[in-house]
Amino acid sequence: MGNFQVDKNGFYGEFGGAYVPEILYKCVHDLQDAYLPIIESEEFKQAYHQLLKDYVGRPSPLYYARRMSEKYGCQLYLKREDLNHTGAHKINNTIGQILLAKKLGKTRVIAETGAGQHGVATATVCALMDMRCEVFMGATDVERQHTNVERMRMLGAEVHPVRTGNMTLSDACSEAIRDWCCHPADTFYIVGSTMGPHPYPDLVARLQSVISEEIKWQLAEKTGRDYPDYLMACIGGGSNAAGTIYHYMNDERVKIVLAEAGGHGWDTDYTAATIHRGTTGILHGAKMLVMQNEDGQIQEAFTISAGLDYPGVGPMHCNMAKQGRTTVLSINDDEAIAGGYELTRLEGIIPAIESAHAIAALGKLHFKHDDVVVLTVSGRGDKDIETYLAYKK
């Protein structure tokens, strides 16, 4: 089996790298040189794990879902990232990056956000660490996700509506990079997923890897074996998926199944199924699979799930899918909604619509009764209640 980790030039096979404007060259290179020594230092690990425990509420439970196991004929365990402070896995990453920003002596933080979940997680750690915070968000999303905008403002962040392009996540990323170019010396860009120029995909994957680190000992405790037969997660940019699989990437006993957002169907114009539909291109500083037309114009992603609404996907996942290490399924809006309702009714857990894509993928697999399946519930569904209700006609 191949090696799926990043190489020393920041590539995963043909994907990744750091395609940044000249003005950011020094800033990105400084980060490339600094991130590993810092995040592997005892001082960092101590502060990071203390906050994950006392502030985020980790370890997140690994929950045996009895009724869902019966339904799907397997032994299903849910990794409950929905129980984290701020309601999703994103805080694992922002806690780590704010510690890194502090260590590098930065005084201002910027971030991009789509649905607002990463913006809220960033504004939260900036409040915690007394750091100035500015968040770029597409003007369309500012309207669609008003509660999260209010949360960010309440936390003390400044939210900049972005009015270029489709006025959604992809445009917010471009605007954040533009801002970074203007303030490379004092500003730290907290990237929200396993995307962006090297070292971000690797940095974010490592910070999220606490998920599979916990799965290892939690599974051993519950089943006597520290690996599952299947790992499952939803995939947008790829951070909760990266965290879920990190310690099992090279373990051939473990099958990996990821669910991307099909929207109305991966073969329609209304989709965010980038691994099914994308072709190689460069977006936001890295080479990856991108939904684009023949002229390289980025095509807008479409899905009911704001957190999966991105026309690209992180380079680590592009490579793993291409090498055949992961199986990527496209889950349509209606299937995800049904999956969300099912988990709610069978287990009393309302998942984020993003996570509901992974739930819906269960029905597309054929398990043996004793197969151990670990599925990451990346976030809670409180933010999505209106969408769930609107869809249930």
3 state SS of 134: strand
Nearest CB to ligand PLP, comparing residues 32 and 93? 93
- Scanning 5-13, 98-106, 338-346, 349-357 for contacts with ligand PLP by CB under 6 A, the matching segment is 349-357
Is residue 244 within the footprint of ligand PLP (CB under 6 A)?
Answer: no
* Min dist. Cβ of residue 315 to ligand PLP (A): 13
100 or 242: CB nearest ligand PLP: 242
Residues contacting 390, CB < 8 A, separation 6+: none
Residue numbers 111-140 binding ligand PLP by CB under 6 A: 117
Pick the binder of ligand PLP from 170, 240, 274, 292 (CB under 6 A). Answer: 240
Query: In this complex, which beta carbon is closest to ligand PLP, that of residue 187 or of residue 208?
Result: 208
In this structure, which amino acid lies at residue 380?
R
Residue with tokens 């996942």: 317
**Burial profile 230-242: b = 16 or more Cβ within 10 angstroms, e = fewer:** bbbbbbbbbbbbb
**Residue tagged active-site, from 90, 103, 106, 383:** 90
43 is annotated as an active-site residue = no
Binding-site member from 60, 122, 193, 244 for ligand PLP (CB under 6 A):
193
- The yes-or-no answer on residue 174 being catalytic is no
Confirm if 332 and 262 have CB atoms less than 8 A apart.
yes
Q: Site map for ligand PLP, 76-115, x if CB under 6 A?
A: ------------x-x-------------------------
- CA 82/CA 200 separation, integer angstroms: 23
Which residues are CB-contacts of 195 (< 8 A; sequence separation ≥ 6)?
201, 204, 237, 238, 284, 286, 288, 310, 312, 313, 314, 315
- For the question of residue 112 being annotated catalytic, the response is yes
- Nearer Cβ to ligand PLP (33/150): 150
d(CA 172, CA 75) in angstroms, rounded, equals 40
Helices 90-103/25-39 angle, 10° precision: 100
Taking CB under 6 A as the criterion, the residue among 354, 359, 372, 374 binding ligand PLP is 354
Determine, following the binding rule CB under 6 A, whether residue 379 of this chain makes contact with ligand PLP: yes
Q: How many CB atoms lie within 10 A of CB 279?
A: 12
C-beta closer to ligand PLP: residue 235 or 371: 235
CA–CA distance, 32 with 38 (Å, rounded to integer) = 11
Work out which of 75, 122, 239, 303 binds ligand PLP, going by CB under 6 A. 239
Interaction site with ligand PLP (CB under 6 A): 88, 90, 117, 193, 234-241, 307-308, 352, 354-355, 378-379
Which residues are part of the catalytic machinery? 90, 112, 378
